[in-house]
Every structure is written in structure tokens, then in C-alpha cells.
Chains A and B, each alone.
Chain A
Amino acid sequence: MNPARAAAAATALIGPLLLSTGCGSIATTGVVESGRAGTVRLAAGPETGMVYFVPPGGGIAPVMLLSGPSHPSPNYLLSRLLAGPDTATQEAGLTTELPGVDNKMMLQAGITIGDDGSSVKVKLPFPIGPLSATARRQVACTALAGVRVSPAPQVTLVDPEGKQERVECGAAAD
């Protein structure tokens, strides 16, 4: 074998090997998923009510109603949701995507549970057409947290004009 060709062959063999093994330094990586998330305990028990608001990063986050009654009714939770984030919640940067309502409108809102417990109707005092996906999730999750039924029932929104729409608490798969 010609020495020049031998050297070229050796380089061709070893070169990619050294490159592929990334000789000498620790390479950076992309994001690698590794195991489940950490489950924390909540300071308040399951009897405490829970409504959902929108953190700055998107999505929805639960907020516990420490000042509210224990085992609150679904209607109470809905009224707290429609009332918007309180001071502590606002300080943490959480907002709502639902439109503001006054007391008269608040009376029109209400949650009715189906007889078999497999469906929940949420009556809203404003049209549901312009609502964002995040706003619908806020309502759906708050309603489910209020009825506390497992498996989760189907949530349907109803607006003053009688228009109905099914919503999901889980994030839409996109």
C-alpha cells in the first residue's frame, strides 16, 4: 500500500471517530426530559376552594381561596373566578382573560350539574364567542374543581343567548 494512501485511509478512519466522540470537552445538549415532576404538598387541604388564573408565561395556574369557606359550592367558585384575581394573586403576576362583570351580571351566572353527574353546565353572563381558549380552560377547570367528581364530567358553556359550547380543562394538544 502506498504510504500516502495509507495515511489518508487512517485519517478517514480516525478523523470521524474523534469528531463523533467529541474529544476533549463536554458538549452542550438540547432539553432532555428526565422523569416525572416534583409533587409538592399544598398547605391547605382538599376542602379549600380553587380557581384558575393566567400566569404571565401562558397556560393556567390554580389559586387556593384561603379566605373563602371550607367546601365551597361550585357557584361560589364561579363567582370568585368572574370577580378576577385578588390582591395577593395580582402581586404574583396572575391575571384573568375573562371579561369583567358587575353584580347584576354576576347573578345570571351559575353552574348546574347533570343528574347522573357526568355533565356540568356553566351559565355565563356574557357571549362565549369572543372568549379565548385560555379563558374557556379557566372556566372549565374551575367548574371541575368545584364539582369534585371523578371521572371528570363534560363541561358545557351556555351564554345569555342560549349558545352552548363544550370545553375541556386540559390544554389543547398543539
Chain B
Amino acid sequence: MRRFAPLGLRTRLIAAFLLVAGICAVTTAALTYQQARNAILKQSQDTAVSTLRDLVEAQTVVLPMDQRELQRVVGELGKRGQPHPWTVYGEYGKLRASTNQGSPTSAVISDQLRRQVTSNPHGAFQRTKDRPGNTHLVVGMPAVFQHIGGREATGAVFYAVMSLDTEQTTVDAMVDAAKKGAVPGLAMAVIPALLAARSVLRPVRDMRKAAQRLGRGRLDTRIEVRGADELAGLARTFNETARALEQSVSELRDAEVRARRFAADVSHELRTPLAGMLAVTEVLDEGAEDLDADTAKALRLISAETGKLAVLVEDLMEISRFDARAAELNLDDVDVAEAVTKTLERRHWTDGRIRTDLPPDIRARLDPRRFDVVLANLVGNALKHGGAPVSVRVRTAPLLTGDRLLIEVADSGPGIAPEVLPHIFDRFFKADAARTRSTGSGLGLAITLENVRLHGGTLHAANGPAGGALFILDMPLEVTV
């Protein structure tokens, strides 16, 4: 279950910083606020309780009190409220008096407080809310007197009711300040978060770029190692890996170059003696009729094998040129239908075994000699390994990157076995193990593929819907170098 899109490292770091800063700020603010609020309230409450007690203790009373006496005492107590002005209520028996004209008792004095101060004569206070929601501090102070070595309740209790609006305002101001302070605090936390994210992200970005360059083949890519942290260690490892990779790749390349040069040299060295041998075998062939049958047969065998050897050497040299990237394109504008017809005629494949589908007026820019080699190889291969009739179909297809030339060569043979299909363009690969001594060099399709690639095209081998092998050549109509 993942409801969130994966977030970037920068976002996560900033979020973590904000979270930590937020938790710290809120925790500190909340605890400070709580302490400050409690201190403010405690001071107010203590002041109120002790002030009321002091005022009560300054009083002289007559027992039983009458309404006038109670009103007098209440009036005395109500004059000097601390820390804020207060309203004093007095209760004695069923008598009630207060400094609040017209209301001898108050609803904010709870029965709980009344019971507490009458049953247990000690000072007490309670914070209550009245109907409109204002908070009041109610202080209850029973009046006691000295009597035979102890203190005894007189039965009179005085209550001071004081609004806590001032304290509420102070508390509100503190909450407001905490809220206002939190936003700039969190905004400031973004700065170290960005710096931290930068210090992590820059090496990561460098490394990604370096890895991309390395992937593109630039094996000399190295990263600048900064500092001594884990990312620096990673950069160092990357550099070491790149160095090791560069070294082994260059060794492999050297070995490959040596092997190719050796093949090219061997082919080249074989060509000169072979040319001489071909000349000699032609002379010998002409004189073979004068020899006895066995000798003539042997002579013809030597002659045929020498010819094959010459073809093989030519193919090897062609492959070597491709490997050495020495093959060049000699581009020319050609009529494709004409070029195909010419190739078939040159090989004398005009006896009806080849069916062609050549739309007229397809002009292409390509290397005519290599195109001839490609087509001859494909058709020759189809005739040799597949079977007649062979169809050659030429089409063009428009594509975003430019028009393509498509040539399909299909035979009527048994097709290509699935296990052989991936290796069909390999060098010296023989599809039929029993036919190792075929006339081909085993390089024909490999050379064909290299020629197509040189044109910037592709060559696919597959089995056609009718069962025969199908080669599809796909190359640009306008080859550019």
C-alpha cells in the first residue's frame, strides 16, 4: 500500500527538518506556556487569598451578626481587592450581603466551595466560569475567632469574586506570540534543510552525471572527491571502479585489435600466393583433358578448392575491413528496380526461379556495389538453402525519420529452425551440420549484415507465414554519411 508518490531526497530532508523544528518549537512553546500560565494564575490566586485573609483579620465582629453588621464588614472587605478589584459576598446564618448592589449572592459561588469552607474552616479558592463564559476566581474565607486555646468558626464566611480577564488576556497574548513565532521559526528551519539537502544532493548529482558519462563509453570519467564522509567514500569507490573498468576494457580492446590485425595480415599474406595458384590451376584445368581420369579428377578438385579458398580469403579481407572500420560507402543515386534486375541478370538468375515485385520509379541513394552484394547474398542464400521459387519484393515506407526502403526476400523451403534463428548472422555458422563442405565461406550473411549496417539499416531473419525463410531488409531511402 503506497498512497504517496515517492518523494525526492530534497523534499524528504526539508520535511524531516520542518518536522523536527516543529516538534521542538511546539514542545518548548507548550511547556513554557504552561509554566508561565500556571505562575501567573498562582500569583493572582495567592495574592487574592492572602489579601482577603488579611482584610478579614482586621475586622472586629459582634455575634450574632445582624444585616447591618454583615453589610458593614462586607463593605470594608470590598474596598481593597488585590490583585484586581473584586466583589465581596458575606454569608452568616440566613443573612446575605454583598458589595454588589441588588444581588446579595452570586451564582459563581459553588455549593461545593460553600460546603468545603463551612465544614473545614480554611481558606479556599475555585476557578469557575459564569454563563457568558468568563472565568472568575472565587475565594472563600471563613471567619474564625480565638476561643479557649483554639480557633472556632464564627459561622460567617466571606467570598471574594474576581474576574480573571487580565490573566486571560496575558495568556492569550502568550499563545499569540507562540503562534507568531512558530511561522518564522519554521521558515528559518528551511534554510539549514536546503543547505543539508544541497550538501547531499550535489555529490549524488555529480555521481549520476559521471555514471551516465561512463555508460556512454567515456571510461576516463572521474569524480572530484570532496571531504571525508560516506559520499566521499562512495565517490572514491566510483573512481576506483571506473579506473579498473577502463583498464580491463583497454586490455580487451588491445587484444581484439591484435586478433583482427592478425586475421587481416593472414588474409593479405594468403592473397598473393593464392593469386599465383589460381593462375596455375587455370592453366592446369585447360590441360586436364590430356591426363588420365584419376589425375584429371584430382586436378579439378584442387582447382575447385583453390577457387573456394580465394573466395574465403576475399570474404575474410572484407570482414577485416568492416572490423577495422575501414569500409566506406560510395553513394550514388540509383533506380532500385533497375539495380535489382541488374543483380539478378549478372548472376544469371533469370530462369523463372525468381519472382520479383519491383515498383517502378523508386530512386534511392546508396552504395550500388554493396547493395549488389547484399541482394546477391540474400537471393543466393535463398536459392541454396531454401528452394525455388524465391520472391523479391521492394517497397517504401514513410517514417518520421525519413522514407525507408524495405526489401523482402522469401523462399519456399522448409524455413529456419527456431534454435538456429538467433545465430543466423554469426560468422562461420552453418545451419546444417551435415553440409559443412558447402560452397559458401560461412561469412556471406555476416558480410551482408555489415553492409546493411553500414547503410544505417537493419536486417531481420524470420519464417514467413507460408513456412519459408523470410529476410527483411530495412534501410533509409536516402543514406547519409
Contacts of B116 in A (CB 8 A): 31, 33
Report B125-177 residues with CB < 8 Å from chain A CB. 125-129, 135, 139-149, 151-156, 158, 164, 167-168, 171-172, 175
B120 at the interface (CB under 8 A from A): yes
Tell me whether A92 and B93 are in contact (CB under 8 A): yes
Given contacts A34-B123, A93-B93, contact A61 B149 (CB under 8 A): no
Q: Nearest Cβ in chain A — how far from B242, in angstroms?
A: 34
For residue A65, give the distance in angstroms from its CB to the closest CB of chain B. 10
Q: Which residues of chain A are within 8 angstroms of B125 by Cβ–Cβ distance?
A: 31-32, 34
Beta-carbon nearest neighbor of B57 in chain A: A38
Contact segment of A2-10, A71-79, A102-110, A124-132: A2-10
What does the 1/0 interface line of A124-158 toward B look like (CB < 8 Å)?
00000000000000000000110010111000000
Q: Is the CB of A63 within 8 A of B64?
A: yes
Interface residue from A24, A35, A91 paired with B122 (Cβ < 8 Å) = A35
Q: How far is the CB of A96 from chain B (nearest CB, A)?
A: 13
A38 adjacent to B56 (CB under 8 Å): yes
Assess whether A40 is in contact with B120, with CB atoms less than 8 Å apart.
Answer: no
* Residues A37 and B123 in contact, CB atoms below 8 Å apart: yes
B117 CB contacts on chain A under 8 angstroms:
37
Residue among B46, B49, B64, B153 making CB contact with A92, cutoff 8 Å: B64
Q: Give chain A interface residues in 4-31, CB to chain B under 8 Å.
A: 4, 6-7, 10, 13-14, 17-18, 21-31
Contacts of A171 in B (CB 8 A): 119
Is residue B31 within 8 Å, beta carbon to beta carbon, of the partner chain? yes
* Closest-CB distance, A66 to chain B (whole angstroms): 7
- Contact across chains for B154 and A62 when beta carbons are under 8 A apart: yes
Q: Which listed residue, B94, B112, B114, B152, touches A62 by the CB 8 Å rule? A: B152
Least Cβ–Cβ distance between A80 and chain B, in angstroms: 13
Cα–Cα distance between A23 and B172 once the two chains are bound (Å): 9
- B75: interface (CB < 8 Å): no
B61 at the interface (CB under 8 A from A): yes
Task: Find out whether the CB atom of A39 lies under 8 angstroms from the CB atom of B126.
Answer: no
Contact of A37 among B3, B142, B148, B167 (CB under 8 A): B142
- Inside 8 A of A32's CB, which chain B residues have their CB? 45, 124-126
Q: Of the listed stretches B18-26, B189-197, B443-451, name the one at the interface; the rest are far from the partner chain.
A: B18-26
Q: List residues of chain B with CB within 8 A of the CB of A23.
A: 30, 33, 175
Asked if A64 is at the interface (CB within 8 A of a chain B CB), the reply is: yes
Interface flag for B431 (CB, 8 Å)? no
Residue of B55, B63, B93, B148 near A144 (CB, 8 A) is: B148
Q: Which A residues are in CB contact (< 8 Å) with B54? A: 38
Asked if A40 meets B143 with Cβ closer than 8 Å, knowing A3-B12, A28-B135, A34-B124, the reply is yes
Give CA–CA (A22, B135) in the complex, Å: 14
Residues from chain A with a CB closer than 8 A to the CB of B50 are 35
A34–B12 Cα distance when bound, in Å, is 53
Q: Within 8 Å CB of A63, what residues of B? A: 63-64
Q: Report which of B26, B65, B120, B151 forms a contact with A14, defined as CB distance below 8 A.
A: B26
Least CB distance from B274 to A in Å reads 74
Give A171 to B222 CA distance when docked, in angstroms: 95
Contacts of B119 in A (CB 8 A): 59, 171
Q: Are A21 and B34 in contact (CB under 8 A)?
A: yes
25 residue pairs bridging A and B, Cβ less than 8 Å apart: A3-B15, A13-B23, A17-B27, A21-B33, A21-B34, A23-B30, A27-B127, A28-B135, A29-B126, A32-B125, A33-B120, A35-B50, A36-B53, A36-B122, A38-B53, A40-B57, A44-B62, A66-B62, A88-B64, A89-B64, A92-B65, A92-B95, A145-B147, A150-B149, A151-B149
Q: Which residues of A contact B (CB under 8 A)?
A: 1-4, 6-7, 10, 13-14, 17-18, 21-44, 50, 55-59, 61-64, 66, 88-89, 91-94, 144-145, 148, 150-152, 171
The 4 closest A-B pairs by CB, nearest first: A93-B94, A38-B56, A61-B155, A93-B93
The chain B residues found within 8 Å of chain A, CB to CB, are: 3-4, 7, 12, 15-16, 19, 22-23, 26-27, 30-31, 33-34, 37, 41, 45-46, 49-50, 52-57, 59-67, 92-95, 110, 112-114, 116-129, 135, 139-149, 151-156, 158, 164, 167-168, 171-172, 175
Q: A40-B154, A55-B94, A56-B94 are in contact. List 17 more A-B contacts (CB 8 A).
A: A3-B12, A13-B23, A18-B26, A21-B34, A23-B175, A24-B172, A30-B126, A33-B122, A34-B49, A37-B122, A38-B143, A40-B60, A57-B118, A59-B155, A63-B64, A89-B64, A93-B94
